[in-house]
Amino acid sequence: MTDKHIQNRIVEKLLRNRVIGSHKIRVDTAVNRYLPSHEQGRGKELVREMIREPESPIEGYGGSRDNIRLTSKEDAVEFLKSNDGNVPFGFG
């Protein structure tokens, strides 16, 4: 899997599970659920990089900043469309 494919998959799964607004998920939990075991190490690195990028649809949430959520549905759909990702049915 390429870095873009990993990022797209994480954003797609967060969107499908509606991790938006008051909903959040830990980085470890998201990576363990959404990626195969051989990609989880790189997945954690990419999620942490995406948190630091201002144009990314993922933001850190909470005091420990180990929780993540999507900034909005629109941002996630735009990110997936611009990166040739799979937009879940009902969102795009």
Segments in the chain below pLDDT 70: none
pLDDT for 83 equals 95
pLDDT for 64 equals 73
Q: What is the pTM of this model?
A: 0.93
Contact residues for 11 (Cβ-Cβ < 8 A; gap 6+): 57, 58, 70, 76, 79, 80, 85
pLDDT for 62 equals 82
pLDDT for 91 equals 86
CA distance 32 to 78: 25
pLDDT for 70 equals 97
